[in-house]
Amino acid sequence: MAALGKGDRDALAVLYRRHAPWLLLRLSQRCHDAGVVNEVVQDTFVAVWRGAARYRADGSVPAWIWGIGVRRLIDQFRAQKPATVPLVEEMSVEPSAEEQVLLGLEHSDLAAALQEINPELRAVVRATILDGLTAKEAARLLGIPVGTVKTRLMRARAALREELV
């Protein structure tokens, strides 16, 4: 990562060879459109290249890359207009539950409820539930202890239940 932060293209190639295959696999489990997944992987490594100097080295490189990749995938879903999303009958592969949730999340009751809860709780929900990170990965991403992630997630679920009732 240090070499990458200094603009070493060979370091980027090594990083890409090590991490692109598993990133492609994990993103493919969340989105069945291979074109979108490939584009997201490429966008992720462009972001890694541009942001390497900002990498704090307080967490694992794969968790950092995953955080970037999953946010890029979510951005792709958000960019799609509902009218351009094909109907399930027209698709050869049914969209995953996650795709359906992410596409409908922005204007749902859940989105409104998320906006009402404490920002610290909202960040944990986004990292663990929406981005699919483990508690340990979320802790590294957010810079807080794993126990704090679990406590905030428990509090967030209770707050969301109250908002959604």
Claim to verify: residue 1 and residue 71 sit in the same structural domain: yes
- CATH number, domain of 74, equals 1.10.1740.10
| Last residue in a domain, options 28, 59, 91 | 91
Give the Cα separation of 102 and 100 in Å (integer): 6
Claim to verify: residue 80 and residue 146 sit in the same structural domain: no
Q: Tell me what pLDDT residue 66 has.
A: 86
With respect to residue 100, please indicate whether it lies within any of the assigned structural domains: no
Give the Cα separation of 45 and 51 in Å (integer): 9
For residue 34 the two structure tokens come to 């291979």
The residue segments making up the domain with residue 148 are: 108-165
Closest C-alpha among 65, 63, 93, 76 to residue 37: 76
Give the Cα separation of 96 and 93 in Å (integer): 9
Claim to verify: residue 10 and residue 85 sit in the same structural domain: yes
With respect to residue 2, please indicate whether it lies within any of the assigned structural domains: yes
With respect to residue 102, please indicate whether it lies within any of the assigned structural domains: no
With respect to residue 82, please indicate whether it lies within any of the assigned structural domains: yes
Claim to verify: residue 15 and residue 76 sit in the same structural domain: yes
pLDDT tens digits, one per residue of 57-107: 777 788 888 888 988 888 887 776 554 444 444 444 555 555 555 555 555
Claim to verify: residue 86 and residue 115 sit in the same structural domain: no
* Average pLDDT taken over every residue of the chain: 79
pLDDT tens digits, one per residue of 33-67: 889 999 999 999 998 888 877 777 777 788 888 88
Closest C-alpha among 151, 152, 145 to residue 119: 152
Burial class (CB in 10 A: 0-12, 13-18, 19+), 55: middle
Claim to verify: residue 117 and residue 70 sit in the same structural domain: no
With respect to residue 97, please indicate whether it lies within any of the assigned structural domains: no
| Last residue in a domain, options 63, 91, 119 | 91
The structural domain count of the chain equals 2
